[in-house]
Structure formats: C-alpha cells, structure tokens
Structure 1
Amino acid sequence: MVLVSAFKDGSAALRANPILLVAGLLVGAGGQLQYLDQVVDSPLVSAGASLGWLIAFPFVLGGFIETARAAIEGTDTSIHQFVTTARTHYVRLLSATVAFLLIILGTAVGVGIVGLVFGIGSMALAAINEMAAFVGGVVSLVVWLVSLLVVIMFVQFYDAAIVIEEQSVTDSFRRSVAIVRSNLTSVVGFSLVWTLLVNLFLVPEYLVQLTVTDAAPAEVLPVDLGIPTTVLLPIGIGLSAVGFAYFYTVYTAYYLRLISDAPLPADAE
C-alpha cells in the first residue's frame, strides 16, 4: 500500500540521514518566531521576524524536499546540496507559495460569500422554523470548510512538483491536480492520515502555544504549567523540528511513489 510504504520510507530515510533534522530545526525555530515578542517584549520585532520567516520558508522547503528525496533514494545528502537546491528553486517556490495562499484565500472568500447568502436566507427562515434555520447555517459552514479542504488537497503537491519534477509555477499546480485526480482515493486517505498524525504529534506544542497567549492560563488549560516562555519556546522548536523532518520526508516519499505510477507525459518533460 502506497500510504503505509511512504511512512516506512520516511522513517528509514530519517534514521539514515540525521541531516534532515537540521532542516527540521530551521523550520522549528522559524515557526516559533511568532512568539518572539514574549521574549523581547517588542511586537514590531516579532512581526518583522515572522514576515522574514514567511519569505525564507520556501528556501528551506525547497532544500528539504530535495534532500529528503536523496535520502529516500539512497544517494548522498549534504548541507551543500541543501543550500544549492534551495537557491535553485527559491523564486519559483516563493511565487507558488504566494499563489497557493491566494488560491486558498480566494476559495475561502468566494465560498464564504455564497455561504453568506444562504446565511441571510437562514435568518429569514428562522422566523418560520428555527430548527431548519439552524440546520441551514450548519450546512453552510460545513460546505465552506469542505470546499476549502478539497481545494487544498488538489493543489497540495505544487512544491514537490517544482522541486522534484522541475515544474514551472503554473504547471506545478496543474501537475498536482492531475496527480490527485489520478489517485483520488489514495490521496484522500493520505491527506486525512497525514493531517491527523501531524496534529496529534504537535498537541504538546499546541499546549505550549496556549501558555504564551494573552489569555489567562485557567482559560486555556486546566492547570497553570508554571513554565517560563524561555523554556517553552525551545520545547516548541524541538517538537516542530522532529515533526517537520519526519512528516515532510513522508510527504516527499509519498509523492515519489505517486509519480512513479504517473510519470510526466512526453510533451511535458
């Protein structure tokens, strides 16, 4: 089964190539920059650091995917290879990431407008039947969420298509959609399992994040952990590093298995 094999590939590659954890550490540290103001007490510095990370993330992602592929295929991996690949694909990955965010935002707004129309109708229906109005509101919300998730699922492989198959920004989205359409059942299963496991793995980090919000500890946790932010942030970095390294190696392994069954058409190479 492709799904199970991808998780096995990811585990084997990570054990044989600890260098992947270095890339994971970069992601883990970058992901915690949103909490920098808790340490330096400067929201402006935190916002600037977070923006800088959003710009740098495609660089790290490009280097990681290529390094993960090398690890999975059993070829040499190195920091030099990581940096070289990251630099090669950076512009396309940055452009595609912006396009990806715009696609998701456009879908959210577009479907949301339709949902708003139905919501207004539900409010009018409330005067006649409150239960029907409630059901209508819930259905609108579910349709909005499902539509958003479906779009994400179809375009999720754009980054792998750019790095692994040297696709352009536009073609990377087309390639992702084509692969998902050809492997719909498998991709649905992978997306659900992958997302569930990622979030289960990061539950401790989510608890860490809650403790550094402005909310009182009693409002977000049953007990106050009493751990300072300077200790919590390294915990979050460590969890993100291991989680990113493993799960994105699995993601790369899964894509490699998909394209082995769905090679590029001759005129697209």
Structure 2
Amino acid sequence: MVIVSAFTDGFTALRSNPILLAPGLLIGGGSQLQYVDHLIDSPVLSAGASLAWLVVFPFVLGGFIDTAQAAIDGTDASLSGFITAARTHYPSLLLATILFVLLVFGAAIGLSLIGFVLGIGAMALAAVNEMAAFVAGVVSMLIWLASVLAVILFVQFYDTAIVIEHESVTGAFRRSIGLVSSNLQNVAGFSLVWLVLLNAFLLPEYLLRLTMTEAGPAEVFPVDLGIPMAVLLPIGIALSAVGFAYFYTVYTAYYLRLIAAAPATAEEI
C-alpha cells in the first residue's frame, strides 16, 4: 500500500540520514518565532521576525525536499546539496508559496461571502424555526471548511512538483491538480493520515503552547506546570524539528511513489 510504504520510506531515510534533522531544526526554530513577543515584548519586532521567516521558509523547504529525495533514493544527502537545491529552487518556491497563500485565502474569503448570504437566509429562517436555523448555520460552516480543505488538497503538491520534477510555478499547480484528480481517494486518505499523525506527534507542544495564553496554565491543566518560556521554546523547537524532518520526508516519499505510478507531465494532464 502506497501510504504505508511512504511512512516506512520516511522512517528508513531519516534513520539512515540524520542530517535531515539539520533543516528540521531550522524549521523548528522558525515555527517558534510567533512567540518572540513573549520574550522581547515588542509586537513590531515579533511581526517582522515572523514575516522574515515566511520569506525564508521556501528556501529551507526546497533544500529539504531535495535532500529528502536523495536520502530516499539512497544517494548523497548532504548539507552542501541542501544549500545548492535551496538556492536553485528558491525563486520559484517563493513565488509559488505566495500564490498558494493567495489561492487559499482567496477561496476562504470568496466562500465566506457565499456563507454570508446563506447566513442572512438562516437569520430569516430563525424567525420560523430556531433549530432549523442552527442546523443550517452549522452545515454552511462545514461546507465552507470542506471547500477550503479541498482547495488545499488539490494544490498541496506544488512544492514537490517544483523541486522533484522541476516544474514551473504554474506548471507545478497544474501537476498537483492533475495528480490529485487522478488519485483522489488515495491522496485524500494519505493527507488525512499524515495530518492526524503530525498533529498527534505535536500534541505535547500544542498543550505547552496553551500555557502561554492569557487564560493561564491553570485553566488548561489541573495544576500549574510552572514551566518557564526558556524551557518551552527549546521543547517546541525539538518537537517541530523531529516532526518536520520525519513527516516531510514521508510527504516527499509519497510524492515519489505517486508520480512513479502516474508519470505524466503537467502538459499531458
């Protein structure tokens, strides 16, 4: 089964090439920049750090995917190769990442407008039957969420298409849509399993993050853990590093198996 094989490939590649943890550490550190304001008490500097990371992330991602492919294929997976691949694919990945964000947010906003119109209808329905109005509101929210997730599902492989198959920015999105359309059930199953396992792995970090909220740790845990920020951040970085290194190696392995079964190029789809 392709899904199980991808997770096995990811584990084997990471075990044989722990160098993949190095870019994982970069991702782990970058993921914690959202908490900089807790340390420096400067929202402007914190926002600047987060924005800078969004610009740097495609660089790290491109290098990682190429290095993960080398590890999976059993060839040389090195930091020099990581840097070379990161430089090579950065312009395309940066532009594609911006386009990806615009597509997702555009879909979310556009569908929200439709939901707003439906919400007006639900308000009118409330005058007749409150329960029916409530159900209609919940259904419209679920439809909105499912639609946004569907957009993400179909364009999610733009990054691997650029790095592994050297597609152009627009070609990468066409390639992703074509692959998902041809393997919808399999890709949906993989995406669900991948997302659930990733979040399960990062659950300890999520719980620790809740201790940083204004609500306070006492409202999250039955007892105050008393863990200082200086300890929470390294824990978050470590978990994010290992989680990213493994699950994105799995993601790369799955894409390699997917295109092996459907080798058509974007122009042929």
Tell which deviates more after alignment, 125-134 or 221-230. 221-230
Counterpart Cα distance in 1 of 2:163 and 2:27: 18
Counterpart Cα distance in 2 of 1:213 and 1:175: 41
Counterpart Cα distance in 2 of 1:47 and 1:171: 32
Matches within 5 A, 1:13-28: 13-28=13-28
Quote the offset at 1:267 in angstroms: 6.0
Matches within 5 A, 1:158-177: 158-177=158-177
TM-score normalised to the size of structure 1? 0.97
Counterpart Cα distance in 1 of 2:260 and 2:198: 25
Quote the offset at 1:262 in angstroms: 1.1
Instruction: Provide the aligned length of Structure 1 versus Structure 2.
Output: 268
TM-score normalised to the size of structure 2? 0.97
Quote the offset at 1:38 in angstroms: 1.3
Matches within 5 A, 1:189-204: 189-204=189-204
SS of residue paired to 2:148: helix
- The alignment status of 1:34 with 2:59, answered yes or no, reads no
- The alignment status of 1:150 with 2:150, answered yes or no, reads yes
Counterpart Cα distance in 2 of 1:222 and 1:171: 51
CA RMSD of aligned residues (A): 1.2
Matched with 1:2 is 2
CA deviation map 1:42-101 (0-9, x unaligned): 222211111111100000000000000000000001111000000000011000000000
Counterpart Cα distance in 2 of 1:95 and 1:29: 23
Counterpart Cα distance in 2 of 1:142 and 1:221: 30
Counterpart Cα distance in 2 of 1:230 and 1:213: 16
Counterpart Cα distance in 2 of 1:92 and 1:262: 23
Matched with 1:247 is 247
Tell which deviates more after alignment, 38-47 or 104-113. 38-47
Question: Counterpart amino acid of 1:15?
Answer: R
Tell which deviates more after alignment, 208-217 or 80-89. 208-217
Quote the offset at 1:219 in angstroms: 3.0
